[in-house]
Amino acid sequence: MAETNSGTPSPQRHDGTVRVKRGLAEMLKGGVIMDVVTPDQARIAEEAGAVAVMALERVPADIRADGGVARMSDPEMIEGIKAVTTIPVMAKARIGHFVEAQILQALGVDYVDESEVLTPADEAHHIDKWSFTVPFVCGATNLGEALRRISEGACMIRSKGEAGTGNVVEAVRHLRSILGDIRKITQADSAELFEWAKRLQAPLPLVQEIAETGKLQVPLFCAGGLATPADAALAMQLGAEAVFVGSGIFKSADPAPRAKAIVEATTHYNDAEILAKVSRGLGTPMTGIGMDEINVRMADRGW
C-alpha cells in the first residue's frame, strides 16, 4: 500500500446523523424504487436498474383487492430479499407502529416507510422518527402533512398518490399541491408566513426555512399510481426527485422490460426523443382503476 500523508484516524465518528440519514435519500435521486414481493422480483428489479427495492408481502393492488388488515412483512421474507440484492432494501411499518419500525431497524433494512398502504396502528400519532438510527420515508398529500412528518424526523417525503390504482391522477394532485405551496411561500412576506404555518398546521421555523431556500428540507419523491415510463417522466418534470413504482411493474404483462424502461425514463425525463424510444413495445400495463371505483382511499390515512 502506498505511503499515506494523512494524520491519525478520527475519534469523532457519528452514526445515524440527520446528514447521514438524509444523505441516502440524496443517493437515490433520479432513480426508481420498486415494490417487490419475492427474491426473484428483487433480482429483476436490480437487473433493470432500480436504485432500491421495497420488500413487502403484497403489492398495494393486492392489498386493495384482498381487504383486511395489512401489516409489516414477515422478517423472513425481508431477509430473503436482502440476501439476493446489493441495492438498498426498504420495508414498510404501519403508521404509528413504532415496534414494527424497531423490528425493521433490527433487521438492518436501509429505509423504513411509515406507510398508509398498511392499515394504520395509531389514529392520532405517527412514529417519533428522531429516536431511530434507520432513516424514514413518509407519505404526504400536501405541504402541511410533509412538514409535520419532517418535524417528526422523516428524512424523505414521497407524495402519496393513490397506491395500487395504476392511476397517476392523485400523484399529480399531491405533487402539485406540495410544490405549488412551496412556490407560493417563497413569495410570501414575513407576516404572511405565520398565517401559512397556521393554515398548514406546520411548525413555523420549517415554513420560514422554505421561504428562504425555496425547497423542502428533505428529498421529495413521488409514489402512488405510476404505471408507465411517461408517468415517471411526468412526476420528474413536475418536480419530483425520484419515483416509487409499486404495483405498476409486477402487475403489468411483462415486468422486466417495463421496469428497465421506467428507469431509463426517470433519468432522461426531459428528453422526449428517448422517452418515445423507451416507451415502445412494453406490452399491457396494469389495468388500473378510476378514483370513483375505489372504496378505500389510502391517501386519507395519516394525520
List active site positions.
92
CB nearer another protein, residue 141 or residue 266: 266
What residues between 26 and 55 interact with another protein by CB under 8 A? 26-31, 46, 48-52
- The residue length of the chain stands at 303
End-to-end CA distance of the chain: 55
CA 292 to chain centre: 25
280 is a contact residue toward another protein (CB under 8 A): no
CB atoms within 10 A of CB 253: 11
- According to DSSP, the residues that pair with 90 across neighbouring strands are 54, 111
Chosen residue from 74, 128, 130, 133 binding another protein by CB under 8 A: 133
Each residue 70-99 as x (binds another protein by CB under 8 A) or -, in order, gives ----------------xxx-----------
Return the closest-CA partner of residue 161 out of 149, 150, 148, 172.
172
Chosen residue from 208, 268, 297, 303 binding another protein by CB under 8 A: 268
- Kindly state the smallest distance separating residue 226's Cβ from another protein, in Å: 17
CB atoms within 10 A of CB 287: 11
- Contact stretch for another protein (CB under 8 A) within 72-80, 133-141, 165-173, 220-228: 133-141
Each residue 2-21 as x (binds another protein by CB under 8 A) or -, in order, gives xxxxxxxxx-xxxxxx-xx-
In sequence order, which residues have a C-beta less than 8 Å from that of residue 7 and are 6 or more positions away?
Answer: none
Return the closest-CA partner of residue 40 out of 255, 246, 248, 252.
255
**Footprint of another protein (CB under 8 A):** 1-10, 12-17, 19-20, 23-24, 26-31, 46, 48-52, 86-88, 105, 108-111, 133-135, 260, 263-264, 266-268, 271, 274
